Structure 1
Amino acid sequence: MKVNDYEIPEDLYYTDTHEWLKRENGKVRIGITDYARKQLGNITYVGFEVKVGDEVEFKQPFGEIESEKATEDLYSPVSGKVIEVNVELEDMPQIVEDDPYGKGWMLLIEPANLENDIKNLMTAKEYAEYLKKKLEEE
């Protein structure tokens, strides 16, 4: 699915702060959306405030991403335990630009209450509508 030039994979869930979540065998993989990475432009830094074994909370920052335009916090779309951190992004932040829904993923989390958290997220269709409204306001 696309809105303007922005890719929105249909099998993911989305936040209003432009993070995505993918369900994977009881765990979730998260990253930032195509819209977020294009708005940031040339990404120069990705930093994580969490490590494997840490607990993250729904809508709480877990790191930050920097570009020549801005610095933005990264927010967790679920509560749970960090299983894996894509530390490769710290040395090669451009991976997020090149492949935000693939190799540019950020965390793998074992969710504490996924069914509850997912109620607060958007489906691809809902995110597409949200993005259309946001673009109209810009």
Structure 2
Amino acid sequence: MSYPETLRYTKDHEWISLDGDVATIGITDFAQRELGDIVYVEVETIGTSLKAGDVFGTVEAVKTVSDLFLPVDGEVTELNEALANSPELVNTDPYGEGWMIKMKVANPADVATLLEAAAYEALVG
């Protein structure tokens, strides 16, 4: 499994990439493998300000539904529209075309407090 070193990670298996105060968020390679074939991604929090740890949506796989947790405080601004017709992008390219949301981060410094790739890899073993 891969864990790009340019990203930060949560213990809940989300990844985050920061560009200024705009973050892109998705689930990790480990998470998508554990879930299996992704069939639906639901996010109904566009335009909503949330706190770190709040549920921003759900991901549905063939056998289960899992909550998606926001890594840092901020406002959800965009959903990856490609997932509506191709949710399997989360499986095939979790760090690229399979991203889930973009958000305006309240405090960009908070991203630095999340797990680095090596720490996340150690967490999932």
Pairwise TM-score range, normalised by the shorter structure: over 0.9
Aligned to 1:3: none
SS in 2 for 1:130: helix
**After the TM superposition, which of the residue ranges 91-100 and 81-90 deviates more from structure 2?**
81-90
Q: Which runs of 5+ in 2 are unaligned?
A: none
From 112, 118, 121, give the equivalent of 2:106. Answer: 112
Q: How many residues are matched?
A: 125
Q: After superposition, what is the alpha-carbon deviation per residue over 1:8-55, rounded to whole angstroms, capped at 9, x for unaligned?
A: 10110000110000011331110000000011111111111211x221
Runs of 4+, deviation exceeding 2 Å: none
Is the contact between residue 45 and residue 56 of structure 2 (CA under 8 Å) also seen in structure 1? yes
Alignment partners' CA distance in 2, 1:101 and 1:116: 20
From 3, 21, 27, give the equivalent of 1:26. Answer: 21
TM-score (norm 1): 0.85
Give the Å deviation of 1:90: 2.5
Q: Which runs of 5+ in 1 are unaligned?
A: 1-5, 133-138
Aligned to 2:33: 38
Q: Given the alignment of the two structures, is residue 16 of structure 1 paired with residue 8 of structure 2, yes or no?
A: no
Alignment of 1:44-63 (within 5 A): 44-51=39-46, 53-63=47-57
Largest Rg, 1 or 2: 1
Output the amino acid matched with 1:64. T
